Every structure is written in C-alpha cells, then in structure tokens.
C-alpha cells in the first residue's frame, strides 16, 4: 500500500510546470530569450528536485524532452550529454560493486575487520566504523549500511539477552553503534570519485564546462585524508564525549562475529576472482599515469579502467563448464540506473546555463564586487551546501549548486577546484536528520535512535565538518591542485 502523497509534493508538482510557463511566456530579459528559456527549464527542474514531487531521476529527463522542443539545443547534442564518459565511469563502479555484493565478499571483508579490532565497546564501534567506511568507498553508502545493520542488530540483541538485561550503558552502546554505521557510510563515500554521486557530478561538470580533469588518484589525495580525519572525529565524539561506554568485555560479540565468518565458509573462487579484479582496477586507477608512460600509446583513462573492471566481471567465469560468470546481465536489474540518468540531466542543465551566458553573468557580477573575502565566501558556500543537503537530495543539490559556485570562483579570480571541491564534499556531510541521507534513514528505522539524538550529535559533526573543510580549502587543496 502506497503512503500518502504529501502536500508539499503536490504543491511542488504543480509549481514546477507553472513557473516554467510563467517564465517562458512572460520573460524579463536578462541576457537573451535563450537564457530566459534555460531559466524556465531550470526553475521546473529545481522545484521538482527540491520537493521530489516525482523521482529526481525522472526530473533529470526534462532537458532531453524540453531542450529540443523549445529550441535550446537539438536532440542529438542533448542526448549525447547523457552518454558522457563520466556517466560510464560511475556505471563501471556500479557494476563492480554489484559483483562484490553478489559474491558476498563485502560481508566477509566487513566481518573480518570487526573481528580484528577487539572486544571492548569502543573497539567494537571502531571496527564497525572502519568496515562501513571501507565498503562505502567502493559500493553505495546505502548498500554498505544494509550490510552492517544486521550484524549490529545481532550484537545489540546479545546485550538485551544477557544477565543484566538492556542497561542504560547498553542503550548508549546501541545508539553509538547505529550512528557510527550511518555516519561512517556517509564519510567513506567522500574518499573516492565513485564513492558517492555528488563527486561524479562535480567531475563531469568541471570536465565538460571548464576542461578541468580530476583524476581518481588526485581525488583520493584529498578524499582519503579528509575521511580519515572525520572518522577520528566521529570516534571521539561517539565514544569519548557524547556516549562514553563503560570498559566491559564483549567476548560474546567476538564469538558472534567469528560464528558469522564461519557460516561464510572458505573463500570461494568467485570471491577471490572478484577481489583480484577489484585490486587490479584500483591499482590502475591510482597508477594509470605511470602505466601510460610505461606503455606508450595505451592512453588509459579513469573511465576506461572502470569499464575494464566492469567487463571483467561479466566475462570472467568462476565455473566455465557451467557458464557461471562473476556477473550476468540480469544482475544489473539491481543497478541504480536512475542515478546515471540524473548525472546526464545535471550535466545537460549545466551545459545549457553555460551556453546561454548565465554562468558568465554570475562570474562577472561577483568579480565586479570589491572587498569580498574569498575565505569567508568559501565558508558560507560550504555551510549552505552542508545544511541544505539535510533537507534535499545531495545529488540534485550539487547539480544545481556547483555550476553557480564555479562561476563565483571565476568571478573571484580563484582556481575553481579550490572552492568547488570542498563545497561538493560538504554535500556528503549531512549528519543531523534521518531524511538527509539513506544511511541516516536506515539506521533511524532500526528504532534505536530518536530524531533529537541524531540531531544533537549531527549538529556538532556538521560544525566540525565545516571547520575541517575550511582547513582543507586553505592548506591542502591548493597544495594538490
């Protein structure tokens, strides 16, 4: 049975096309009628993206429909954007993540990490954090949360069924471990380009509109240190400040994890093959420049490496006699195709805004202002992104916001990457509300967390995220880019 369609979504559903018609038929010319038409489509998309009146992926198809109809661009050039090589970079990442899940290798990796970290409450929480973050670097944060949640639930059940019952200290531990999973899933995705969709959207927009390439390795030089620092902050906040746990021994937890590893049995041939493909793909992503120099004419790109990994999953058989491949095409029914369409829609809108001169207009307006502090503006933009993503899809928000931020950077006369990267990273730092990210919503549904508890911890993490991103803006990002 479907849930009630909220009033704000109904209003958004009607407001989107209404604003489009008002702007289209009653224009107030800023640059040209072409710009006005782009603004009309953008208004429709932004309203539907913000309210999620329909799926954000459906909204992303509007440029494909409207641009040719109202003369913004022809269907061939618009459709070609939806087939950008950046879209296929993420497609390859999705496919490899499916193989990881199909072989159940992600669960084995997670359980072994938890098993190695120890049996005290704090070490158990650390194990869950590290395992969740590591998985979220390569598979969706939703999938990594779903993997970890049942294991955490079993640990909590052990506490409920022990001799002293579910004590206040046990409740604090349960709350800590749930928040640790959700927040670590969000943080882990920041580490790599394919870790979370906002990263891919940024890379695509910058490459298409500004001919700026961010390699997989260069992103990791920023993303991994930031994620490690945020994980350290999260660990201290959860275990030493907000919910400090008594130093009891969790031997039964260790036994539970060991039992779960035993149930998985010996590492299968399929698991070993998937792990090998993953390892080679990651190696090529990190060292592709060196490989290209070593083999002249090879010209590997991040996208081609991603597709090599994806093709390997479809063409490597763990049982050739039976025709059992690591992945079958039917497995892609679980692939989030809508996200790939969303990338295309975001890139198409950004391209139209640029072609119509609207992005240049924003840059010129900013550059005409005197006495603007770049550092202060960066702080404001990071804060806006971070707190707005608590209320709306971070993917849609990045698609809307990054072209504007890039134009502002041009107007301020600072390198685009110095502002766009931290603002994009801020989109994955939503820790306050259950609706902010899928991991937040999933752990909230477990029943072990109240909204005010998540908001209390999340607010401090949000503030720390802004501060840390400002440090990266000032010191780290200029050093790398």
Q: How many whole angstroms separate alpha carbon 94 and alpha carbon 312?
A: 13
Label residue 225 exposed, middle or buried (CB < 10 Å: 0-12, 13-18, 19+).
middle
Tell me the residue length of the chain. 481
**Ramachandran bin of 369, using left for φ above 0, alpha for ψ from -120 to 50, beta for the remaining angles:** beta
- C-alpha dist (Å) from residue 290 to 43, 301, 424: 45, 12, 28
Give residue for tokens 């590997």: 300
Q: Which of 377, 396, 378, 394 is nearest to 386 (CA)?
A: 394
Taking only Cα atoms into account, the Rg of the chain, rounded to an integer number of angstroms, comes to: 23
Q: Which of 104, 100, 46 is nearest to 282 (CA)?
A: 100
Give residue for tokens 């928000």: 397
- Neighbouring CB atoms inside 10 A of 210's CB total 16
Per-residue pLDDT tens over the stretch 236-255: 998 887 776 665 556 666 67
Identify the three-state secondary structure at position 413. coil
Q: Which of 105, 307, 121, 93 is nearest to 193 (CA)?
A: 93
Local structure of residue 118 (DSSP, 8 states): -
- C-alpha dist (Å) from residue 262 to 114, 115, 183, 255: 14, 12, 28, 10
Q: Which of 440, 424, 435, 434 is nearest to 386 (CA)?
A: 424
Please tell me the predicted confidence (pLDDT) of residue 1: 43
Q: How many whole angstroms separate alpha carbon 349 and alpha carbon 61?
A: 10
Per-residue pLDDT tens over the stretch 278-309: 899 989 988 888 898 888 888 888 889 999 99
Please tell me the predicted confidence (pLDDT) of residue 219: 93
Crossing angle for the helix pair 197-210 and 416-426, to the nearest 10 degrees:
160
Q: How many whole angstroms separate alpha carbon 10 and alpha carbon 12?
A: 5
Q: How many whole angstroms separate alpha carbon 266 and alpha carbon 38?
A: 57
Q: Which of 82, 78, 3, 9 is nearest to 47 (CA)?
A: 9
Please tell me the predicted confidence (pLDDT) of residue 44: 94
Burial code (b: 16+ CB inside 10 Å, e: under 16) for 413-438 equals ebebbbbbbbbbbbbbbbbbbbebbb
Spans of the chain, pLDDT less than 70:
1-3, 29-30, 118-119, 159-167, 244-254, 363, 366-372
For residues 101 and 136, is the Cβ–Cβ distance under 8 A? no
- Which residues partner with 325 through β-bridges? 317
Q: How many whole angstroms separate alpha carbon 231 and alpha carbon 456?
A: 17
Identify the three-state secondary structure at position 317. strand
This prediction has a pTM of 0.84
Per-residue pLDDT tens over the stretch 378-435: 888 899 888 888 877 788 888 888 888 998 888 888 899 999 999 999 999 988 888 7
């Amino acid at each position: 049975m479907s849930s009630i369609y909220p009033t704000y979504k109904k209003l958004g559903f009607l407001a989107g096309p209404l604003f489009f018609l008002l702007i289209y038929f009653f224009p107030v010319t800023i640059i040209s009628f072409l710009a006005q038409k782009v603004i009309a489509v953008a208004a429709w998309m932004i309203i539907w993206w913000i309210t999620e009146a329909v799926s954000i992926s459906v909204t992303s198809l509007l440029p494909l429909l409207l641009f040719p109809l109202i003369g913004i661009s022809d269907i061939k050039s618009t459709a070609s954007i939806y087939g950008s090589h950046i879209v296929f970079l993420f497609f390859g990442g999705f496919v490899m993540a499916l193989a990881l899940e199909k072989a159940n290798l992600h669960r084995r990796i997670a359980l072994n990490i938890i098993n190695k970290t120890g049996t005290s409450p704090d070490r158990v929480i650390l194990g869950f954090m590290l395992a969740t973050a590591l998985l979220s670097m390569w598979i969706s944060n939703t999938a990594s949360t779903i993997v970890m949640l049942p294991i955490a639930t079993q640990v909590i059940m052990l506490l409920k069924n022990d001799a002293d019952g579910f004590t206040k200290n046990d409740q604090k531990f349960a709350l800590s471990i749930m928040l640790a999973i959700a927040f670590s899933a969000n943080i882990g995705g920041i580490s790599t380009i394919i870790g979370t969709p906002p990263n891919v959207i940024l890379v695509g927009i910058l490459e298409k509109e500004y001919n700026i390439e961010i390699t997989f390795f260069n992103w990791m030089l920023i993303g991994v240190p930031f994620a490690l620092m945020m994980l350290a902050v999260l660990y201290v906040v959860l275990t030493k400040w907000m919910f400090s746990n008594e130093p009891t021994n969790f031997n039964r937890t260790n036994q539970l994890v060991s039992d779960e590893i035993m149930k998985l049995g010996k590492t299968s041939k399929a698991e070993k093959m998937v792990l090998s493909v993953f390892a080679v793909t990651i190696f090529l992503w990190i060292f592709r420049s060196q490989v290209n120099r070593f083999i002249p004419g090879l010209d590997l790109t991040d996208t081609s490496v991603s597709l090599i990994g994806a093709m390997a999953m479809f063409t490597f058989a763990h049982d050739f006699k039976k025709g059992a491949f690591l992945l079958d095409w039917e497995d892609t029914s679980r692939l989030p195709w809508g996200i790939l369409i969303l990338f295309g829609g975001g890139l198409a809108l950004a391209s139209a805004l640029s072609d119509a001169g609207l992005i240049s207009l924003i840059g010129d307006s900013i550059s005409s202002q005197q006495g603007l502090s770049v550092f202060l503006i960066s702080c404001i933009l990071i804060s806006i992104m971070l707190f707005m993503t608590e209320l709306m899809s971070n993917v849609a928000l990045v698609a809307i916001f990054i072209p504007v931020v890039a134009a502002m950077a041009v107007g301020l006369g600072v390198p685009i990457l110095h502002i766009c990267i931290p603002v994009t990273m801020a989109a994955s730092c939503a820790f306050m509300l259950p609706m902010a990210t899928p991991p937040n919503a999933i752990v909230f549904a477990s029943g072990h967390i109240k909204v005010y508890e998540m908001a209390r911890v999340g607010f401090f993490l949000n503030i720390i995220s802004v501060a840390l991103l400002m440090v990266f803006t000032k010191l780290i990002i200029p050093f790398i880019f």
